[in-house]
């Protein structure tokens, strides 16, 4: 059965890098890639809002431009090095708000992974993640996402960092995509705990033991860093080891939320170098 991967693009360099990363990550697997471009113009007045109705000159010209650029991207990625026989592509152009279009397509196509850039065409240097990337990471809870920075290397990950405080009970099925990627890429998983004293209570000890069981079929190890903030510790660990990916479980009221909700998200810098896999707990 083919994997269904959604590749949103606004035709920015970052979006193209994310597409190339996805093709490399899944190069040995049967996949259908949905290449999605959302054309959307924020209306400044009633006249421009009416002008974006289907059939209007503005709407049709914008849609035609979207389709033309999608075709250009498809030619660039689908036929490079004579293409990959395991991969097929569907180009989709829709008029909508980007987040809503992504959410709708995930449901319609039963997408199992979203791969997208961290930032879009605006590429504001004051923001680590664009608003669409943040919304997808936080609000699309029925599908994991890999966010890829523009400077990320298009190589299979060999070391994936999984930060945790061991306070949240995680189910094995919530880690399915992390384990799948580790197995398919022959990557090791480094479980990173950031703590002032390194001591674990009974709940944390049990949760650590469960992780050891969940990761029994992949190469994994446990690590501890102290005297640093969580974001600084992750950044230090990733950079010092030249790790290839960071993976999180997005539990709204625990670890992930404390890092990625504004304004703390601005303090994380490793995103500029490695992709981030965001999974979700099944309780939300």
Decide: 140 and 158 in contact? Cβ < 8 Å.
no
Global pTM reads 0.89
From 148, 180, 211, give the residue that closes a domain: 148
Helix (H) or strand (E) holding 17: helix 13-25
Mean pLDDT in consecutive groups of 10 residues from the start of the chain, 284 residues: 95 93 95 93 60 79 93 85 84 93 96 90 53 86 92 93 90 95 97 88 95 97 89 88 91 51 41 83 68
Please indicate, yes or no, if residue 97 is contained in any of the structural domains. yes
State pLDDT tens for residues 115-147.
999 876 554 444 556 778 888 988 898 999 999
Please indicate, yes or no, if residue 154 is contained in any of the structural domains. no
Question: Do 60 and 173 share a domain, yes or no?
Answer: no
What pLDDT is attached to residue 255? 43
Q: Which two tokens stand for residue 244?
A: 């290839």
Question: Do 205 and 270 share a domain, yes or no?
Answer: yes
Please indicate, yes or no, if residue 153 is contained in any of the structural domains. no
Question: Do 142 and 229 share a domain, yes or no?
Answer: no
* HEC assignment per residue over 55-116: CCHHHHHHHHHHHHHHHHHHHHHHCHHHCCCCEEEEEEEEECCHHHHHHHHHHHHCCCEEEE
Question: Do 172 and 114 share a domain, yes or no?
Answer: no
Question: Do 128 and 28 share a domain, yes or no?
Answer: yes
Question: Do 12 and 142 share a domain, yes or no?
Answer: yes
From 92, 123, 148, give the residue that closes a domain: 148
What pLDDT is attached to residue 133? 87
What pLDDT is attached to residue 82? 64
120-144 burial, b if ≥16 CB within 10 A, otherwise e? beeeeeebbbbebbbbbbbebeebb
Distance separating alpha carbons of residues 73 and 88, to the nearest angstrom: 14
> At 203, which CATH number?
3.40.50.620
Owning domain of residue 55: 3-148
Question: Do 22 and 117 share a domain, yes or no?
Answer: yes
From 148, 182, 202, give the residue that closes a domain: 148
């Amino acid at each position: 059965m083919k994997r269904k991967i959604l590749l949103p693009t606004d035709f920015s360099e970052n979006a193209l890098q994310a597409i190339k990363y996805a093709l490399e990550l899944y190069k040995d697997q049967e996949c259908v890639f949905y290449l999605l471009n959302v054309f959307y113009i924020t209306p400044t007045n009633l006249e421009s809002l009416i002008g974006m109705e289907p059939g209007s000159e503005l709407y049709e010209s914008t849609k035609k431009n979207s389709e033309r650029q999608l075709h250009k991207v498809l030619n660039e990625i689908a036929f490079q090095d004579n293409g990959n026989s395991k991969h097929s592509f569907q180009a989709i152009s829709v008029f909508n708000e980007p987040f809503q279009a992504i959410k709708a397509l995930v449901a319609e196509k039963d997408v199992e992974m979203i791969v997208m850039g961290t930032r879009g065409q605006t590429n504001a240097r004051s923001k680590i993640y664009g608003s669409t990337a943040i919304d997808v990471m936080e609000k699309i809870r029925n599908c994991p996402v890999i966010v890829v920075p523009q400077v990320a290397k298009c190589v299979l990950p060999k070391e994936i960092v999984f930060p945790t405080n061991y306070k949240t009970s995680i189910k094995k099925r919530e880690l399915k995509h992390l384990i799948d990627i580790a197995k398919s890429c022959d990557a090791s998983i480094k479980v990173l705990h950031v703590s002032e004293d390194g001591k674990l209570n009974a709940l944390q000890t049990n949760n650590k033991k469960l992780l050891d069981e969940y990761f029994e079929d992949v190469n994994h190890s446990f690590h501890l860093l102290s005297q640093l903030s969580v974001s600084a510790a992750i950044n230090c660990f990733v950079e010092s080891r030249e790790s290839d990916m960071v993976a999180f479980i997005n539990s709204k009221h625990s670890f992930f939320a404390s890092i990625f909700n504004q304004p703390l998200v601005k303090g994380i810098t490793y995103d500029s170098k490695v992709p981030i896999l965001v999974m979700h707990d099944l309780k939300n």
